[in-house]
Structure 1
Amino acid sequence: MLKKVGLVLVVMVFAAGILAYNNQIPLMLAALKYRSATEYPIGPERELVWNAGPEVAELPSSERSPNIVLIVADDLGYNDISTFGGGVGGSLQTPHIDQLAAQGAVFSQSYSGASTCAPSRAMMMTGRYPTRTGFAFTPMPGGMGSMVQRIGESLDRSLPPAYYDAELDASKPPYEQQGLPPEEVTIAEVLGDQGYATFHVGKWHLGRQNGMAPHEQGFDQSLLMASGLYLPEDDPDVVNAKLDFDPIDQFLWARMVYAASFNSGDEDRFRPSGYLTDYWTDESIKIIEANKNRPFFLYLAHWGPHTPLQATREDYEAVGDIQPHRARVYAGMVRAVDRSVGRVMAALEANGIADNTIVVFTSDNGGAGYIGLPEVNKPFRGWKITQFEGGLRVPMLVKWPAKIPAGTVSEVPVAHIDVMPTLAGAAGAALPEGVAIDGRNVIPLASSDEAAAAWDRDTLFWESGHYRVVRHKDWKLQVAARPDKQWLFNLAEDPTEQVNLAESRPEKLAELMALLDAHRANARPPLYPAAIEAAVAIDKTLAEPFEDGDEYIYSPN
């Protein structure tokens, strides 16, 4: 064993010397790939044993507290589902997500908590803004910031350069310890106290150690995404699409492996039993079947369709000849997420609990511009990482046959901070005492016209370092320091943010600036400050040439 460790160290030191001398990106990525393959052992596939409820229900499903299923996609664009007229640019139908929307409520002005994944997920779990929790940025695996900067510098993209603070990055805790503080109260803890069995399957991204892992934050059991490949890169059943124009993609292919863990944070890794989206769905169905006779909460947090782009060969063939190749692979990934939604709903029906189960479907943020597909957020401007509507607008679909009429559409703006109080309200659970909850229960909006008329929240906030946003009634203001600019839009007249009114409406600009300043006045500082700021084009994907005059924003993380 000592000889093996010594050999690894020699290879890594030798590689580091070569890198320092030549500064060659391919060698750097090769060394990173070697490290990923050797630092954690991955065991064989294993059969998971899920907690089970009684064999015979004490009460009929209709007389029990509702079961709750929260399904979250990752980086799913607004235009990726056919409910909103899209379906990967109109080339793909998403019938199961469409069915969920038709049978329940569609919140037509629904927003993510942030334009990147981890803060959004923290807001879904807590119902609190990052200004309260301090969880403001998405934690990056070790080496990602410096590697993304170096790869970006090696590409001819014409975008302004990224800024990376190596000293600040080194001062932060390890990636596994950058998470949601254990003292924060999650929806899993609230529902557990209400007698629910609680289960997490998939992505977490809110910490893996020091009391931050899912099974330490209120979930009875957790099947965790321990890395990020959907299948091994050379698996005969996978079709890959690598993005040579994207530094993040190059890092992910080098850093990610194919692994899961169960109730252990990021340790005790083992090989999943199939393509991640389908594997997690298989295990979610087992949870449903084992717990059909008692109230349960299932948080199914998909990785799809986030990069690295990997589709099953079956899905790739099924979506047809979509071009370019990366779009076809991406469409196959969306198809897999849609299939998952259909299989979960079918399992609820088969087990006789569909009528009294609340199913929520959303995405953690808008579609990413770095995948090079220009229509993923159509008709909205911007991408993930920006806070234009394309980065923030996400589906929010809620089905609960016992309470919500089919075909309901609510135009009241809602956001991910509303998920936690909504699920607590559905369960009849009290919100935690002494904890300021920023979100609200949105179920009444979907079940009562009177409730919608009486809704009195006018303002939503987003904040990412120097880049701050407020929506107040129909007005939206974005304020940035890099570049020093304000964007003011009247969303009622200009929902796709084309006409900047910051100069022509100074009184409205001042009104919304005051709201932003008040929101920040007593903010908790970020627990893990941003170590990198990268320029993101607002109206072009990363695959398109950036030209003088194109608008951009520096986004910190």
Structure 2
Amino acid sequence: MAAPTGARRPNILFIMADNLGYGELGVYGGGATRGAPTPRIDRLAAEGLRLTNMNMEPQCTPSRSSIMTGRFAIRSGTYAVPFGGVPEGLTAWEVTLGDALSAAGYRTGLFGKWHLGSTEARLPNNRGFDEWYGIPRTTDEAIWLDSPGYDPSIISPEPILEGRRGKANRTVATYDLDQRRIIDGEVTKRTVDFLERAGRQGQPFLACAFFTQPHLPTLANPRYAGKTGNGEWADMLAELDDNVGTLIDTLDRLGLRENTLVIFTSDNGGEFIKPWDGWSGPWRGQYFTALEGGIRVPMILRWPAAITAGRVSNEIVHGADIFPTLASLAGAIVPSDRPIDGIDQSGFITGHIAKSAREGFPIWCGNRLQAVKWRNFKAHFYKQDTMRSTAERRNVPFLVNLYTNPQEDEDKSWSGSWVLAPILKIVRDFEQSTLRYPLIPMGTPDPYHP
């Protein structure tokens, strides 16, 4: 489906938080109850569509991979956060969201966290983005320099990089705890600069502001330290809300409000490691698990030219749907030579279709098919309550009706085994697709050819 009648191809401002739990924002039950109201993000929700059943993969790298390619990360060898020792990230064979929209005439920029490859060839400016600034991997590496025994001659500290298409990346700074506090402010500043330049040129754009908050260590910008009086987490939440507000104000100031699709979401469920653990609202679990708290995230979309304000929907959407949906709206080409697991949801988000185009999806934790979600039902094939728990294979699937058992409480048995028919069909369909299109192993170097 192309852009709705009467609307031009939209500009796209894609804002993503890192490990922001479902229950953190005011409009999702958090905000003031977490020590910091979130008025700007709440207003954004009131001006567009708020999803209550948006689902991601349960780790950072897999979720970002599925967003960028429209493919479940298990297909791309990006099914888990990489810990070194092998080539990491997306092979050059994968077509990214940046590739697709650039080919369709969009100006593209990505600012913030990447986590899909840290070698030169796999960084954003070589993966479809005209420019980028940020960290190639993850925020917990900022702790390394203050860790007893750390030796940079063994493994170098993470750099903050900037680069432009076709040119070598440049190291801006070392990502230490001081930089950790200020990086989201810089992401905001650079995204604003990109929006101003793109707005003057009149070229449609994809601007990705991929914030690092609230990923551990959750440390607010010094300008926000102590601002709420309710601790570091609340200070961070106030900062995040203000940064989003700054980006929205920039669109309005530039006269880009009407035909810019703004997306706000999180890459996966809430932070688990104490004392920075987040809140999943009504759901149990956090990232690295197949529980709802690991995969269900906030998702807000505003596009005044095409999305009716004040809509709320509990229809199922998955992160893999972002690629084909944005490609459809932008008039971009979705690859046809590989399985695309995402589904075009443009008709649903614009209100032309009441129902989501998706009914369910498989859930991998690492390379384990851990569960399947279908409508309001779920089958767990493994028991795993936290990222540190051993995943125990179940003799029979644990079946959940999320309407009656939203906490996925093991003590609440449910005998609706009929749901295994559509659930196992999802499994069979995926397995059949791998016979023709084998999975790419993790650590696969370039060049890769299927």
How would you bin the TM-score normalised by the shorter chain?
0.7 to 0.9
Q: 1:282 aligns with which of 185, 189, 194?
A: 189
The count of aligned residue pairs is: 412
Pick aligned residue for 1:498 from 406, 409, 413: 409
Q: Percent identity?
A: 30
Q: For 1:510 and 1:226, locate their aligned partners in 2 and report how far apart those are by CA, in whole Å.
A: 41
Matching residue within 115, 129, 134 for 1:219: 129
Of 17, 26, 31 in structure 2, the residue corresponding to residue 73 of structure 1 is: 17
Cα deviation code 1:280-301 (max 9, x no counterpart): 1001100011110221111111
Structure 1 pair 298/230, CA: closer, same or farther in 2 (3 Å)?
farther
Judge which range, 468-477 or 306-315, deviates more.
306-315
| Other-structure match for 1:469 | 371
Q: CA deviation at 1:505?
A: 3.9
Whole-angstrom CA distance in 1 between matches of 2:147 and 2:233: 12
> Relative to structure 1, is the Cα distance of residues 255 and 498 closer, same or farther in structure 2, using a 3 angstrom cutoff?
farther
- Once the two structures are superposed, the pairs formed by residues 188-207 of structure 1 within 5 Å of their partners are 188-207=98-117
Aligned to 1:459: 360
Measured against aligned partners, the alpha-carbon deviations of 1:120-146 in whole angstroms (never above 9, x if no partner) come to 001111111124323211112x4xxxx
Contact 1:409–1:446, Cα closer than 8 Å, also in 2: no
Which residue in 2 is equivalent to 1:345?
A: 248
- Inter-partner Cα distance in structure 1 for 2:182 and 2:167: 21
CA distance in 1 between counterparts of 2:338 and 2:371 reads: 24
Matched, 1:261 2:162: yes
Hey, what does 1:376 align to over in structure 2?
279
In structure 2, the residue matched to 1:404 is: 307
Correspondence for 2:400: 489
* Structure 2: runs of 5 or more not aligned: 1-5, 384-390, 444-450
Contact 2:226 2:232 (C-alpha < 8 Å) held by counterparts: no
Distance 2:226 2:74 in 1: 45
The residue type equivalent to 1:527 in the other structure is P
Please tell me whether the aligned partners of residues 117 and 136 of structure 2 are also in contact (alpha carbons under 8 angstroms): no
Aligned AA (2:197): A
Give 1:258 shift: 6.6
Aligned to 1:124, which of 67, 71, 84?
67
- Using the alignment, how far apart are the partners of 2:280 and 2:107 within structure 1? 36
* Unmatched runs of 5 consecutive residues or more in structure 1: 1-61, 143-169, 234-241, 245-250, 323-327, 530-557
Pick the aligned partner of 2:342 from 419, 435, 439. Answer: 439
Q: Is the 8 A contact 1:231 1:258 kept in 2?
A: no
Larger Rg: 1
Post-superposition CA distance 1:177-220 (Å, at most 9, x none)? 31111111111111111111111111111112263211111111
Aligned pairs for 1:225-264 (under 5 A) are 225-226=135-136, 259-263=160-164
Local SS of the residue matching 1:489: strand
Deviations 1:370-424 (A, max 9, x none): 1346661121100111110001110111010000011011221001011111211
Backbone CA RMSD of aligned residues: 3.2
| SS of 1:423 mapped into structure 2 | helix
Residue 284 and residue 267 in structure 1: after superposition, are their counterparts in 2 closer, same or farther (change >3 A)? closer
**Matched residue type, 2:375:** K
The 8 Å contact of residues 271 and 277 in structure 2, kept in 1 or not, is answered as no
Distance 1:72 1:265, change over 3 A: farther
What is the aligned counterpart of 1:181 among 75, 91, 98?
91
Partner of 2:290 in structure 1?
387
Q: How far apart, in 2, do the equivalents of 1:230 and 1:139 lie?
A: 13
Distance 1:231 1:331, change over 3 A: farther
Matches within 5 A, 1:294-305: 294-305=203-214
CA distance in 2 between partners of 1:518 and 1:63 (Å): 36
Alpha-carbon displacement from aligned partner over 1:287-339 (angstroms, at most 9, x marks no partner): 0111102211111111111012221233121111x2xxxxx212222222211
Deviation string, structure 1 residues 476-531 (Cα, Å, up to 9, x no partner): 112128312233101132223225667734443465345335423443445227xx
Q: Could you tell me how far apart the structure 2 residues matched to 1:339 and 1:427 are?
A: 29
* Greater share of residues in strand: 2
1:516 matched to 2:427: yes
Structure 1 residues 362 and 456: alpha-carbon distance in aligned structure 2, compared to 1, 3 A threshold = closer
How many Å separate the matches in 2 of 1:479 and 1:189?
A: 36
Cα gap change, 1:188 to 1:329, in 2 (>3 Å): same
User: For residues 10-56 of structure 1, what are the alpha-carbon distances to aligned partners after superposition, in whole Å with 9 as ceiling and x for unaligned?
Assistant: xxxxxxxxxxxxxxxxxxxxxxxxxxxxxxxxxxxxxxxxxxxxxxx
Q: Is the 8 A contact 1:196 1:297 kept in 2?
A: yes
TM-score, normalization by structure 2: 0.83
Aligned-pair CA distance for 1:429: 2.4
Q: 2:441 aligns with which of 517, 522, 527?
A: 527
TM-score, normalised relative to structure 1: 0.68
**Could you tell me how far apart the structure 2 residues matched to 1:67 and 1:243 are?**
43
Aligned CA distance change for structure 1 residues 180 and 232 (closer, same or farther; 3 Å): closer
| Paired residues of 2:136 and 2:161 also in contact (CA < 8 A) | yes
In 2, Cα distance between equivalents of 1:135 and 1:491? 29
2:173 paired residue number: 271
What is the DSSP-based 3-state SS (H/G/I as helix, E as strand, rest coil) of the residue aligned with 1:497? coil
One-letter code aligned to 2:161: A
Q: In 2, distance between residues paired with 1:122 and 1:371?
A: 26
C-alpha distance in 1, partners of 2:317/2:147?
34
- Whichever residue aligns with residue 191 of structure 2, its letter is S
Matches within 5 A, 1:536-547: none
1:95 aligns with 2:9: no
Q: 1:224 to 1:497 in 2, by over 3 A?
A: same
Q: Give the aligned residue type for 2:399.
A: L
Indicate the SS of the match to 2:34: coil
